[in-house]
Structure 1
Amino acid sequence: MCDELPENKKFVIDLLEQALERYEAEYSELFDRWRGLESKAQVALTTSGIFVSASGLLVKEVGSTFPSEMNLALAFAIALLVLSVTCSVTVLVVRPLESSPTGEGYTKYALDALRVIERLDNGIADYQIHLIQDKIRVWQDTVVSLRDGNDLKAQCLKTAQYLLLAGLLLVASAIIITIFWKQNKGVVS
């Protein structure tokens, strides 16, 4: 059918089909990024949880004998880690997105095309162009929605990771200080 069309219409149809294929590929890439962001958020969440537990054990072990500044630093570290957990959970929150075109949607396009082709002697190329443009619009909405969702997830994840890093550094510092503090007190031999 495409061989019977004027060259300029074939050219437009080819370009539109390439655009449609690119949207489908972009959707796949964005969806892979979406999954990657969620995996990183799960790692940040787990790591934060482990260090919140470690901080709690440290406070339980020596918190009452620590100087108040050290207890304050640990409390601040725990607060940062809890904020990291909050940001990580925010990344994992289910968000409404535009769905990708379904098989049912493409079947509707095909049946609509069949009805139009049966009525038209000419204009098939114009209909093909409009049909591909309709498909592109659906994919555009889907890709934009997924891209926006990824950007939001990436920003929350970045915040979670910075908070996690700050909390981990504080906890690690507190542990090192505790070791030296216990050595100076004669507790560690």
Structure 2
Amino acid sequence: MTIDVDVNLSAEAWDKVEGLEALVRRCVEASLAETSAKLVEGCEVSVTFCDDAEIAQLNADWRGKDKPTNVLSFPTPGKLAARPLLGDIVIAYETVAREAAEQEKTLPEHTAHMVIHGFLHLIGYDHEIAAEAEVMEGLERRIASRLGLRDPYADEAADDQDGAGELNEGHVDTI
């Protein structure tokens, strides 16, 4: 199964992340391998790396939340196995860099988690209810492990006791 990955940089700050396009491709390939999602051969996913101002505008327009977030996913409507364009993932530099520092992760490591998380939304996973969140987080952990990354939720168990462990992301059902 091949998937075309279109990586777009709309914020210069992302130039600091060496090998960003290769990282995105590895994350998408590992996500596909772990989920066994049935996609159209050669379908396309677009990943845009922007700044907080751009994602805040998208978050306001599509989710009614007037603030930046780390990742937004815009799945193309229709059955997964019939979509030549899977959808779009948008990731904000300042928020992801701040979160990486707060969580004592490298920027590439946290960026990988955002790509994985966004991609899982594109193929139908969600975390609106506890059972969905458990499934999605389990996949994220296994995909991260496949890539040789630390568990993206390892440090959140203690934080969850005071409500601070939620992933600050958005999922938009359609664009």
Structure 1-normalised TM-score?
0.21
Higher relative helix content:
1
Higher relative contact order (CA 8 A, sep 6+): 1
Structure 2-normalised TM-score?
0.23
Structure whose CA Rg is larger: 1
Higher relative strand content:
2
